[in-house]
Amino acid sequence: MFDDLHDPDPPTAGLDALARVSERAGTIRRRRTAMLGGGAVAVAIVALAIVIPGRDADRIEPADDTEVTASTSAPVPDCGRLTDPVWLPNGAVAGEPDVASAIDPSSGEFVETRTWADAQGNGVLAELPAPTDVLDLPPTGNMWGLRVTDEVPGVDSHEVVIWRRAGNCVARFLVGGDPEGAASWGAALVDQLTIAASASGPSSGDDGWCADVLGRRVACVLAAAVDTSAADGPQGAAYQIVGPADSGDPPTLRGEVGVVQLIVGADDVVSPRSRLSMETPIPGTSLVSVVDLVPATETWCGTVTTPDGEVHRVGVSPSVASDGPVEAPAPCDDGSTGTSVETTAPPTTGIVPPPTVPPTSVPVGSDGTVLLLDGAGDVRLVDAQGMRTLYDGFDPDERPTEGEFVLVDGMALSPERGTLVVSDCCEPFPGDLIAVDVATGEHEVIGFGHLPAFTELGNLVWAGLGSTDTGELNPVVLLGDATGAVGVTLHEFPVDSRIDDLAVVPGPDGERVVVLLATPTETQLWVFPAGGGDMQLSATVADVPWTAETPMSLAGWTDEAYLVLDDANDQVLAFDRSTLVPIVGPEVPNASISLWITPTTSRSISPDRVVTIDGVAQPGEFVRVR
Amino acid sequence: MVGRFDDVDVSFVDRFEELHRVAYRAAYAVLGNRTDAQDCAQEALARALVRWRTVSEYAPAWCARVSTNLALDRVRRERRQPPRPADAGSDESIADRRRDLVAALKALPKRQREAVALRYLADLPEADAASALGCSVGTIKSATSRGLERLRADLGPAWAWED
């Protein structure tokens, strides 16, 4: 069939064609690498204040002068690019590598290779002599090539994770993270994937370089001896411990952008704590580190109750730590500052006040706003002021044959409707999160990821890449504040999967993050609480693999079901919200390329790009609606 | 070739001609223009090379599918522009048939369109098409059947069906 449509004399592909394909593939790879590196924005710590309750009630200190950044208005704090060479002990001379010179049999060139070893003197890592050339990467001072040497047989490069801690900054370097690139050279790419405050990184006090190989911690080279049990920890320590609560000294509170972190006694009770809070013992002490998300509020107030019943009221205000050491105490909503001792019960749930949503008329869509991605790749907002273009994206129809090309793949409006967050993406790696001021149209890159969604309380949920546990490029769902500062990883998916869509869905028992996950063999629906927790549901949606050119997409929800649009088969699938069992869904348009249904709205875009909102077709050409 | 393509997986190099042939065939059936078809084929192969470890098991079908979709995208992008000339010597009636077919293909649901394209534009076996689309052979059969049925309905009996 169709034989007459085929070329009767097709050309033969020769070396020139292969060269073009190879060059183009290299361009794609480099672009991905650049996205990984460039997107690895330092989500470092703005050390705001240490509010010391009790005896030092008015004393507020920066956690470490060197980590205080210039402004909390900047969403990307600066830990600096941690670019020092990797120093691991070689077993003989700590911090010095073994250096070997030899003629590279493959190139015939004289090369010098430096090798690091673990504490027992076993060779572990070897530096490639010319990594940027070998790996075909753009020259940069932030990358090194590393390869696992023969002394650790069976260790794949991606099983090596390099950590660096400098004061409060933790950098995790992924080795061999690009499954399609570096690993194919039998080598590894070291790149700065994330820099984040992390309770799951090197243990406190590991101030320097560390490496995990196959999950085994290779002895670290510490920048300085750190004694976390000291009454006054040295500058540069992971945590500055003022004094353990169980010895009668007050606990220490340090606020950070997006995170409240408290160092308290193991038996102290911290309140309020959200369901996202994590607690990590501090080795060598009777203290624990409590890390909890602080959403987009300027002040956090709470209490620490010691075992003897003393209640320390503590507060921190990120906004006061604009530059350098904090001089002003953090205000609490009752007017108190710093810390005080009281006996009133603290609030027990929630750490964010509900946003104030101004009243507005409803021009289209019964919830008052519609987000549209138009045929030119621009993001438009429809609200009481009409339709406006807020973000100028690439035109998907004007795809260049070479060079940068990213498409808007996600858009979310904050509950108070003041901020639009869009993401661009080029599969399979996520790109940038861009915040757009709805009032002014000004925008800035706030983070690294895609598919943003706001919670009702104004926190941001989005899809990212990179496991905090394994260092691999697992798809992850992150929760942070509206500035893009990462709070916690809500969920981590297998490395051989891809997040195709994400939404935050309200419900009577709390908000749920709904994720459409593509795997090599099928598409799955995952549901878990936006507030964190162990509950989760997952189910197979269809046998649509991640290689499908048109992935499935979320299509909204009803009171009973989560909805998925199967564009390939022109159908909408419904899954019971409690069980994810397929059920009969609502009546929806037969053919849509994008669909968004809620209990109060219905929006769809037909294959010819016409958007219909609550039954009324709108002028223009669109490709995605929310 | 050794040395120049040291960074290209050997198995990809070994299969390059085969993959190019399949990808080109599918794109040409849609576009009717050699230059454009070669562009689509090479883009598809470059994407395959980037994710070679993932797609190598079903590379011909994967390349054909991507190449077909690139070709259809190219037709859609050029819809407001003057039509690209078919290659010299090509039959005008064939160009008309191709235009009609492309329009009908674009109207098909994606799964049906890809199944038809893989089976009849790239001439791939059902098993290969099933691998590329991540579904069963039975699904390919039914999608192809429904797609052809709808194509016949859209194109009408006057369209020169050859089977």
* Dihedral Cα A216, A217, A218, A220, nearest 10 deg: 180
Burial of A160-184, coded b for 16+ CB within 10 Å and e otherwise, reads bbbbbbbbbbbbbbbbbbbbbbbbe
| Tens-place pLDDT, residues B108-130 | 776 788 888 888 888 888 888 87
pLDDT at A23 over 70: yes
Which of B97, B110, B161 lies nearest to residue A5, judging by beta carbons? B97
- For the segment A269-297, the average pLDDT, to the nearest whole number, is 57
Q: Classify residue A418 as exposed, middle or buried by CB count within 10 Å of its CB (0-12, 13-18, 19+).
A: middle
Arithmetic mean of pLDDT over chain A: 58
pLDDT at A87: 29
pLDDT at A397: 60
- For the segment A208-237, the average pLDDT, to the nearest whole number, is 32
Which residue reads 């661009």 in tokens? A424
Residue A196 CA to residue A198 CA, distance in Å, equals: 6
Nearest C-alpha neighbor of A279 from the set A268, A263, A267, A290 = A290
Q: Are A164 and A208 in contact (CB under 8 A)?
A: yes
Q: Are B20 and B45 in contact (CB under 8 A)?
A: yes
- Cβ-defined contact of B98 to A5 (cutoff 8 Å): yes
Return the minimum-mean-pLDDT range out of A172-176, A214-218, A318-322: A318-322
- Closest-CA residue of B relative to A548 is B133
pLDDT at A513: 94
pLDDT at A561: 93
- The residue ranking higher by pLDDT, A563 or A351, is A563
Return the minimum-mean-pLDDT range out of A9-13, A21-25, A285-289, A564-568: A285-289
- For the segment A429-455, the average pLDDT, to the nearest whole number, is 81
pLDDT at B113: 82
pLDDT at A66 over 80: no
- The residue ranking higher by pLDDT, B108 or A71, is B108
- For the segment A46-70, the average pLDDT, to the nearest whole number, is 22
CA distance A459 to chain B (A): 34
- How far, rounded to the nearest angstrom, does the alpha carbon of residue A320 sit from its chain's CA centroid? 26
pLDDT at A334: 44
Cβ of residue A21 closer than 8 Å to a chain B Cβ = yes
Angle at A194 between CA A44 and CA A459, to 5 degrees: 65
Which of B16, B34, B66 lies nearest to residue A549, judging by beta carbons? B66
pLDDT at B134: 64
CA distance A368 to chain B (A): 32
Q: Which two tokens stand for residue A66?
A: 């060197």
pLDDT at A119: 41
Which of B37, B49, B163 lies nearest to residue A25, judging by beta carbons? B49
Nearest C-alpha neighbor of B131 from the set B61, B39, B52, B31 = B61
Which of A1, A15, A28 lies nearest to residue B120, judging by beta carbons? A1
Q: For the residues of A607-619, what is the DSSP string, one character each?
A: TT--EEETTEEES
pLDDT at A517 over 90: yes
pLDDT at B24: 94
pLDDT at A301: 58
Best mutation site among B133, B145, B150 for testing chain A: the one with the most A CBs within 10 Å? Answer: B133
* Helix B59-77, helix B10-31: angle, nearest 10: 40
Cβ of residue A547 closer than 8 Å to a chain B Cβ = yes
Q: Which two tokens stand for residue A25?
A: 């593939």
Torsion-angle region of A316 (φ positive above 0: left; ψ -120 to 50: alpha; else: beta) = beta
| DSSP label of A256 | E
Which residue reads 């183009």 in tokens? A24
| Tens-place pLDDT, residues B49-72 | 877 776 787 788 888 888 887 887
Q: Which two tokens stand for residue A271?
A: 């309140």
H/E stretch holding B96 reads: helix B92-107
Arithmetic mean of pLDDT over chain B: 78
Q: Are A309 and A275 in contact (CB under 8 A)?
A: no
| Tens-place pLDDT, residues B16-49 | 999 999 999 999 988 888 999 999 999 889 888 8
Residue A459 CA to residue A471 CA, distance in Å, equals: 25
Q: Which two tokens stand for residue A531?
A: 């507030």
Nearest C-alpha neighbor of A121 from the set A100, A146, A98 = A98
Can you give the C-alpha Rg of chain A in angstroms?
A: 26
- Closest-CA residue of B relative to A15 is B1
Q: Are A327 and A49 in contact (CB under 8 A)?
A: no
Q: Which two tokens stand for residue A245?
A: 């609560």
Q: Which two tokens stand for residue A507?
A: 């419900």
H/E stretch holding B21 reads: helix B10-31
The answer, as to whether pTM is greater than 0.90, is no
- For the segment A124-136, the average pLDDT, to the nearest whole number, is 36
- Cβ-defined contact of B5 to A548 (cutoff 8 Å): no
Return the minimum-mean-pLDDT range out of A5-9, A493-497, B109-113: B109-113
Nearest C-alpha neighbor of B27 from the set B78, B83, B80, B66 = B66
CA distance A310 to chain B (A): 59
pLDDT at A623 over 80: yes
Q: Are A402 and A420 in contact (CB under 8 A)?
A: no
% residues pLDDT > 90 (chain A): 7
pLDDT at A412 over 90: yes
User: At A619, is the pLDDT very low, low, confident or very high (cuts 50, 70, 90)?
Assistant: confident
- Cβ-defined contact of A397 to B49 (cutoff 8 Å): no
User: At A310, is the pLDDT very low, low, confident or very high (cuts 50, 70, 90)?
Assistant: low
| Whole-complex ipTM | 0.83
pLDDT at B87 over 80: no
- The residue ranking higher by pLDDT, A429 or B55, is B55
pLDDT at A302: 63
- Cβ-defined contact of A2 to B62 (cutoff 8 Å): no
- Cβ-defined contact of A28 to B163 (cutoff 8 Å): no
Which of B37, B121, B134 lies nearest to residue A521, judging by beta carbons? B134
Best mutation site among A1, A3, A4, A5 for testing chain B: the one with the most B CBs within 10 Å? Answer: A5
3-state SS of chain A: helix, strand, coil percent to 5? 10, 40, 50
CA distance A497 to chain B (A): 12
Cβ of residue A541 closer than 8 Å to a chain B Cβ = no
Q: For the residues of A381-434, what is the DSSP string, one character each?
A: EEETTEEEEEE----GGG--SSS---EEEEEEE-TTS-EEEEEEEETTEEEEEE
| Tens-place pLDDT, residues A359-394 | 233 334 446 788 998 877 889 888 777 778 888 877
% residues pLDDT > 90 (chain B): 12
